[in-house]
């Protein structure tokens, strides 16, 4: 069986060594030394000023929304994982969808201004598949209209853009360290910011609003993560560069195999990314369904990331007509299997099946 992704597990003995220390200290959570060590290692690895390790990428989004005090309309992308929209609704904001750029599949900055109303407070955009958003254009509009900017960077671990970490753009960026992501801690995530003030606020919000044992600075929630998860992350992190290189090689091989077909390789168009995903566009949804069925018969399971477009969610007031590009793309985009454990022969088998149906 071949699945769209496979969780990388580091050598067990490296994890056991860290567990021994945790057992010796007897501290499992509440900002233990391993969680702090992971934050430090991630700041250095990613090249960011403030990074707070949290329990998952969804709470990271909720903390970002809360820390920026958002309560009104937020312009956002219809082409992302459901958490990008659901976290806004959960935090009592109103998602207003702005269609995507057909090339990068990220929020189209040319369409932002027309969607702004007096109630608009912020932009929440996703670097989907690790493809960088048009950050300059987005932030120019944001400055002009005094909007805050959050980037859902759940796919963008390690992505560099214009000579620095993509995480340094906007007011806050959020990461997910879920087991399916390039770098993971089983469950986990982070909020990233360059602002000292926001970092301080996010820190107390992550821990119930505590200043010290008996003093509360403000409203908070429990978004802490454990020593056990952090230890897993410390063991995975040193392997990330090699994992990325392997995915890069497989990505190039997919490009080569698919070049003569009618399948459009999005990563080949964009260039920059971290090789987390291998999304392709099929000529039609009928082609996509035929490919998915044929691969399924061979026990190969790609994923329809992301289907349907978020405009179709039952709890948002938006029709598919609002974002025709996202609706079209969501119907035709498919993520092919991409992970460290695949071989060039696996890719040849996958592409041979696809070629019979396009
Ligand atoms: C994975 C993901 C999330 C949610 O992260 P969790 O850690 O699973 O809560 C949010 N946004 C995007 C784009 C994601 O892919």
Percent of the chain with pLDDT over 90: 96
Q: What is the rounded distance in angstroms from the CA atom of residue 22 to the CA atom of residue 97? A: 45
Is the distance from the beta carbon of residue 225 to the nearest atom of ligand 1 less than 6 Å? no
C-alpha separations of 228 from 15, 23, 38, 120, 302 in Å: 9, 10, 11, 40, 31
Highest CATH level, class, for 2-238: alpha beta
Residue nearest to atom 2 of ligand 1 (CA): 154
Please check whether residue 107 is in contact with residue 76, taking contact to mean a CB–CB distance below 8 angstroms.
yes
What is the predicted pLDDT for the residue at 320?
A: 62
Banded model confidence at residue 202, pLDDT cuts 50, 70, 90: very high
Write down the mean pLDDT value for the chain. Answer: 96
Q: What is the rounded distance in angstroms from the CA atom of residue 285 to the CA atom of residue 290? A: 9
Ligand 1 center to residue 317 CA distance, Å? 22
pLDDT in tens, 261-289: 999 999 887 877 899 999 999 999 999 99
Is the distance from the beta carbon of residue 99 to the nearest atom of ligand 1 less than 6 Å? no
Buried b / exposed e over 317-329, threshold 16 CB at 10 Å, is ebebebbebbbbb
C-alpha separations of 155 from 53, 152, 183, 197, 236 in Å: 16, 8, 10, 26, 17
What is the predicted pLDDT for the residue at 267?
A: 87
pLDDT in tens, 238-255: 999 999 999 999 999 999
Ligand 1 center to residue 152 CA distance, Å? 8
The full set of domain ranges for the chain reads 2-238, 239-355
Least confident of 177-191, 316-330, 340-354: 316-330
Q: Is 240 helix (H, G, I), strand (E, B) or coil?
A: helix
Is the distance from the beta carbon of residue 56 to the nearest atom of ligand 1 less than 6 Å? yes
Angle at 229 between CA 23 and CA 150, to 5 degrees: 150
Given a cut of 70, whether residue 86 has pLDDT beyond it is yes
Longest dimension (CA), the chain: 67
pLDDT in tens, 94-122: 999 999 999 999 999 999 999 999 999 99
Angle at 258 between CA 161 and CA 290, to 5 degrees: 110
Q: What is the rounded distance in angstroms from the CA atom of residue 249 to the CA atom of residue 237? A: 20
The reply to whether 239-355 shares the fold of 2-238 is: no
What is the predicted pLDDT for the residue at 270?
A: 80
Is the distance from the beta carbon of residue 178 to the nearest atom of ligand 1 less than 6 Å? yes
Is the distance from the beta carbon of residue 142 to the nearest atom of ligand 1 less than 6 Å? no
Given a cut of 80, whether residue 319 has pLDDT beyond it is no
Q: Which residues fall within 8 angstroms of residue 46, CB to CB, at 6 or more apart?
A: 157, 158, 165, 167, 192
Residue nearest to atom 5 of ligand 1 (CA): 57
pLDDT in tens, 8-57: 999 999 999 999 999 999 999 999 999 999 999 999 999 999 999 999 99
Given a cut of 80, whether residue 181 has pLDDT beyond it is yes
Could you identify the residue written with the tokens 């969610």? 313
CATH number of 239-355, picked from 3.40.50.2300, 3.40.50.300, 3.90.1150.10, 3.40.50.880: 3.90.1150.10
Query: Closest by alpha carbon to 109, among 134, 74, 142?
Result: 134
What is the predicted pLDDT for the residue at 185?
A: 98
Ligand 1 center to residue 180 CA distance, Å? 9
What is the predicted pLDDT for the residue at 265?
A: 94
Given a cut of 90, whether residue 157 has pLDDT beyond it is yes
């Amino acid at each position: 069986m071949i699945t769209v992704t496979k969780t990388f597990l580091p050598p067990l003995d490296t994890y056991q060594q860290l567990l021994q220390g945790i057992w010796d200290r007897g501290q499992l959570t509440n900002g233990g030394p391993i969680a702090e060590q992971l934050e430090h290692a991630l700041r250095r690895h990613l090249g960011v000023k403030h990074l707070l390790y949290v329990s998952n990428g969804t709470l990271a989004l909720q903390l970002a929304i809360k820390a920026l005090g958002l309560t009104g309309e937020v312009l956002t992308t219809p082409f992302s994982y459901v958490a990008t929209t659901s976290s806004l609704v959960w935090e009592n904001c109103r998602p207003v969808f702005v269609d995507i750029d057909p090339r990068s599949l990220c929020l189209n900055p040319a369409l932002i201004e027309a969607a702004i109303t007096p109630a608009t407070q912020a932009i929440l955009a996703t670097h989907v598949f690790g493809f960088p958003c048009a950050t300059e254009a987005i932030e120019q509009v944001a400055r002009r209209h005094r909007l805050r900017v959050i980037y859902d960077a759940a796919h963008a671990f390690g992505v560099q853009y214009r000579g620095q970490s993509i995480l340094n753009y906007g007011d806050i960026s959020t990461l997910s360290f879920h087991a399916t992501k390039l770098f993971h801690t089983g469950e986990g995530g982070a909020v990233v910011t360059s602002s000292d003030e926001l970092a301080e606020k996010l820190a107390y919000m992550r821990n119930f609003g505590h200043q010290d044992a008996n003093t509360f600075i403000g409203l908070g929630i429990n978004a802490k993560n454990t020593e056990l998860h952090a230890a897993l992350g410390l063991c995975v992190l040193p392997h990330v560069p090699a994992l990325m290189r392997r995915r890069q090689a497989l990505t190039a091989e997919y490009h080569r195999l698919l070049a003569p077909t009618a399948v459009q390789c999005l990563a080949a168009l964009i260039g920059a990314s971290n090789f987390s995903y291998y999304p392709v566009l099929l000529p039609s949804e009928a082609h996509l369904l035929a490919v998915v069925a044929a691969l399924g018969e061979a026990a190969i399971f790609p994923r329809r990331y992301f289907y349907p477009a978020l405009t179709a969610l039952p709890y948002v007031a938006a029709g598919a007509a609002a974002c025709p590009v996202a609706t079209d793309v969501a119907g035709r985009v498919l993520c092919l299997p991409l992970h460290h454990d695949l071989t060039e022969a696996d890719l040849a088998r996958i592409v041979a099946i696809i070629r019979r149906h396009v």
